[in-house]
Amino acid sequence: MNGAAQDPMPWVQDDGGRAAAGFETKHADDCVCRAIAIATERPYPKIYAELKAVGWSEFRNDRLEDELQRIRGYLEARGWRWIQTIQRGDGFNSRVHLRADELPVGRLIVVMSEHFAAVV
């Protein structure tokens, strides 16, 4: 991190194809599915079905560590590399931020405070 002021990365609202696939557009707790669909450029319904097949549930938050392991296994089985940048409890002591100068170039799926997002 160079300490210089950094312009914020542009933000684009994208539901990953959820609405176009006929899913309800209300709050769905499916950020992982949307992030994967956006980052992989694959159809939301296919990602949704594949995640369901490995035991993912958009409404289950009681076993976050188990859920993260399922998602990690799903992504690694498809050639993605999981890079752990902080440990649970590190909080604001993280060394990596959502800044263009701190992230690799390319299509990323990032996990932050129990939320997934695509960074392209």
List the domain boundaries for the chain.
Answer: 31-119
Kindly indicate the confidence band of residue 26, based on its pLDDT and cuts at 50, 70 and 90. Answer: confident
* pLDDT tens digits, one per residue of 59-107: 665 677 788 888 999 999 999 999 887 766 666 666 777 888 888 889 9
Q: Do 33 and 51 form a contact (C-beta atoms < 8 A)?
A: yes
pLDDT at 111 (0 to 100): 87
Mean pLDDT of 25-39: 87
pLDDT at 29 (0 to 100): 81
pLDDT at 83 (0 to 100): 86
Residue 58: pLDDT above 80? no
pLDDT at 109 (0 to 100): 94
Quick one: angle between helices 31-40 and 44-53, nearest 10? 120
Residue 5: pLDDT above 60? no
CA–CA gap between residue 86 and residue 2 (Å, rounded): 19
Average pLDDT in the chain: 83
Task: Indicate the pTM of the whole model.
Answer: 0.83
CA–CA gap between residue 9 and residue 55 (Å, rounded): 33
